[in-house]
């Protein structure tokens, strides 16, 4: 049996975590042979509910779950952690954009970044989920210079999965036949869900749909799906977000499938003309616990213009919160 790894999770008494933690503990994220220790962070008033979550985790008798630590002290939660899932943050309500959360949530990520910088394993792999996820990841990165910036990522896998579903429904095809879906940019309404390089059972997806559907229906449908869920549910997506986090981390740690790629918001190296250092969603392949941006894709002017719009939004978000990093 492998040695247990430590998974720190913030916002652990919230909606997403009520699905996420059980899937981590059952082996869904890191594999059926990988024992885990959950190090769960909450704000003090939520500790009682967090204790109930711990009771339920224990009552599942998961063979891979070695320990559950509940705390309101970030330095305890991140001590020695191998993975950090940064979920704890305010969700948006109806009529709000995710960037409207920046004022409140940005502070959480500057504070946690400083703590992580002091106590965490510098190789810790981080997935930021709390919105606006890309800019919160940027804030965290700037406050944690001891960490490798390649290990600070943000979640766009939920958007990727939403895009796969929409294409499968439109073309009446199996989701497992859909490969090479791409989400470019920000986890916001400027994101660019892109089927230009996608295949369905080996054939080009763009040959199976009208361009007008791809550009005028598919892109806004995926980009606004979060708001659609909020409209129907009254609160933001939770189980599908948890599933996206599981998929994101599993791909990163255990690798992507041959011939396929996934979407992850990662530290831009300037690929596709995007400003270096922004946390921008790209198509990536993963191997041996590391990601590589898929390069050399030929993008239409339509897609390039949209990618630049999303970059501009990320630059603006960053510039409005520069007080949160040096």
Residues designated catalytic: 187
Q: What residues contact residue 86 under an 8 Å CB cut-off, 6+ apart?
A: 10, 11, 109, 112, 126, 127, 128, 129, 130, 136, 137, 140
Task: Report how far residue 237's alpha carbon sits from residue 91's, in angstroms, rounded to the nearest whole number.
Answer: 10
Contact stretch for ligand NAD (CB under 6 A) within 128-136, 162-170, 280-288, 313-321: 128-136
Least Å distance between CB 159 and ligand LMR? Answer: 7
Binding mask 77-106 toward ligand NAD (x if CB under 6 A, else -) reads: ----------xxxxxx--------------
Q: Is 193 in the site for ligand NAD (CB under 6 A)?
A: no
Kindly state the tokens that stand for 179.
Answer: 């490969």
Q: What residues contact residue 17 under an 8 Å CB cut-off, 6+ apart?
A: 9, 11, 40, 53, 87, 242
Q: What residues contact residue 75 under an 8 Å CB cut-off, 6+ apart?
A: 115, 118, 119
The partner in contact with residue 130, picked from ligand LMR, ligand NAD, none with C-beta cut-offs of 5 to 8 angstroms by kind, is ligand NAD
Q: Tell me how far CA of residue 171 lies from CA of 174, 192, 263, 310, 319, in angstroms.
A: 9, 20, 21, 27, 41
Strand-pair partners of 200: 178, 203
Binding mask 230-269 toward ligand LMR (x if CB under 6 A, else -) reads: x-----xx---x----------------------------
Contact stretch for ligand LMR (CB under 6 A) within 35-43, 222-230, 279-287, 296-304: 222-230
- Sites for ligand NAD among residues 170-189 (CB under 6 A): 187
Residue pair 110/247 in contact (Cβ under 8 Å)? The answer is: no
The partner in contact with residue 132, picked from ligand LMR, ligand NAD, none with C-beta cut-offs of 5 to 8 angstroms by kind, is none
Q: Which residue is nearest to ligand LMR (CB)?
A: 226
Q: Is 279 in the site for ligand NAD (CB under 6 A)?
A: no
DSSP state of 3: P
C-beta of 89 vs 303, nearer to ligand NAD: 89
The residues of the shown chain that bind ligand NAD, judged by CB under 6 A, are: 10-11, 13-16, 41-43, 46, 87-92, 108, 129-131, 133, 155, 158, 187, 236-238, 241, 244
């Amino acid at each position: 049996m492998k040695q247990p790894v430590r998974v720190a999770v913030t916002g652990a008494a919230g909606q997403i975590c009520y699905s996420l933690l059980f899937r981590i503990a059952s082996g869904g994220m890191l594999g059926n042979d990988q024992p885990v220790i959950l190090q769960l962070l909450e704000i003090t008033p939520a500790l009682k509910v967090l204790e109930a979550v711990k009771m339920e985790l224990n009552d599942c008798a998961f063979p891979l779950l070695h320990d559950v630590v509940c705390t309101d002290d970030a330095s305890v939660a991140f001590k020695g952690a191998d993975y950090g899932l940064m979920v704890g943050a305010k969700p948006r309500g109806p009529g709000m954009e995710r960037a409207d959360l920046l004022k409140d949530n940005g502070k959480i990520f500057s504070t946690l970044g400083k703590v992580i910088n002091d106590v965490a394993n510098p190789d810790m792999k981080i997935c930021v989920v709390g919105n606006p996820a890309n800019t919160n990841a940027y804030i965290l990165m700037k406050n944690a210079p001891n960490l490798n910036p390649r290990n600070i990522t943000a979640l766009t896998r939920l958007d990727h999965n939403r895009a796969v579903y929409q294409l499968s429904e439109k073309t009446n095809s199996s989701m497992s036949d859909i490969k090479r879906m791409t989400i470019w940019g920000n986890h916001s309404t400027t994101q660019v869900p892109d089927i230009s390089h996608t295949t369905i059972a080996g054939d080009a997806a763009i040959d199976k749909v009208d361009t007008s559907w791809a550009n005028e229906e598919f892109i806004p449908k995926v980009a606004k799906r979060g708001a659609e869920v909020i409209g129907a549910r009254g609160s933001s997506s939770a189980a599908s977000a948890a599933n996206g986090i599981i998929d994101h981390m599993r791909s990163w740690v255990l690798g992507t499938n041959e011939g396929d790629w996934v979407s992850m918001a990662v530290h831009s190296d300037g690929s596709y003309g995007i400003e270096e250092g922004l946390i921008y969603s790209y198509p990536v392949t993963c191997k041996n616990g590391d990601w590589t941006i898929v390069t050399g894709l030929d993008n239409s002017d339509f897609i390039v213009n949209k990618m630049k719009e999303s970059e501009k939004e990320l630059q603006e978000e960053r510039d409005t919160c520069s007080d949160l990093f040096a």
